Amino acid sequence: MNYLPTFKEKVYESDLDVADRYKNFYCPHCHNFSVVPVHRKAFMALLWVPLFPLGGGSYLKCPLCNWIQEYKNEQQLVTVAKEQEHIKKQHHIPTDL
């Protein structure tokens, strides 16, 4: 049997250490309040070994449905947090969640 090594993209994620007001955002895909900020870094990997980085950035991610959206800076995150306050009020969710 011939064995050919395969290259693939491997993504690593870590939770960002941010204030509580940036957690439990509304997910437009699955309609849950579970979106959190994460940092993602993609690598080109041979089998399971990461070889070199392809890129990375800060994202909002829903851990339930894997919906993801990139944000560029802290100001965008503040804007999203303000929008989320209005969404939580519409759904009668306490804003401290």
Residues with Cβ within 8 Å of 41's Cβ and at least 6 positions away in sequence, in order, are 11, 12, 13, 53, 55, 56
Rounded to two decimals, the pTM is: 0.71
pLDDT tens for residues 24-47? 888 989 988 888 899 888 888 887
HSE of 95, CA atoms in CB hemisphere, 13 A: 9
pLDDT tens for residues 53-94? 888 888 999 999 999 999 888 888 888 888 888 887 887 776
Q: What percent of the chain has pLDDT over 70?
A: 88
Calpha distance 4→2 (Å, rounded):
7
Phi–psi pair at 61, nearest 5 degrees:
-135, 135
Calpha distance 80→41 (Å, rounded):
22
